[in-house]
Amino acid sequence: KPDGKLIKKLQDESQQQWSYFTSRCRNAAFLYQLTGDKQDAEMALAFFQIWLNHPNSQENLKPKESWGRAELAMAHDWVYELLSPGEREKARKLLAAMVSKPSLELIKNSWFMENCKPVGRQPAGSNWTGLCTTNLGLTNLAIEGEKGYDPELQQRCIHMLKRYVENSFSPDGNSY
């Protein structure tokens, strides 16, 4: 289970600390999916509840520009059955805030997305295109069929990722 040291680190709220946490949250949920063990379920749920109950979670319910959080989206799917109805609703709202209108505007206007202009880069985007579209797309899919899911955002993510994969790799495997 997450210990007090991890929770204290998260109070720092640096991007690095949250990246460390979200990958552990995803890994714990994946372990539970692999084993089905009660102990692993408790650990996965404890990690996910830390995110749900973070002091800033109310602030994070507001729509904002985001790249999404693939790790949390996957963890959400893998622990969904363990969540109470209230926790499911809060998780949906937090994920929906990440894929709201400001994120759609990010796709439309960012230099590494649909507003890509040749400036010494491939017009298909950059490695940021792949990171952003996979994170947003997976976050959006975690709430597919529920309030907050955005089919337009999903189609744009698929289109941008496909364009990036088809046009941004050199024959030796390097990406642009």
pLDDT per residue as tens digits for the range 31-52? 999 999 999 999 999 999 988 8
- pLDDT for 107 equals 79
Question: Residue 150 carries which side chain, given as an amino acid letter?
Answer: D
> Which residues, in sequence order, are CB contacts of 171 under 8 Å at separation 6+?
none
150 within 8 A of 104, measured Cβ to Cβ: yes
User: Structure tokens of 27?
Assistant: 């890994």
- pLDDT for 15 equals 55
pLDDT tens across 5-18, in order? 555 555 555 556 66
The residue among 67, 29, 69 whose CA lies nearest residue 48 is 29
**135 phi/psi in degrees, rounded to 5:** -65, -50
- pLDDT for 39 equals 94
Q: Which residue has the tokens 């959400």?
A: 76
* Predicted confidence band of residue 55 (pLDDT cuts 50, 70, 90): low
Q: Which residue has the tokens 């209108």?
A: 101
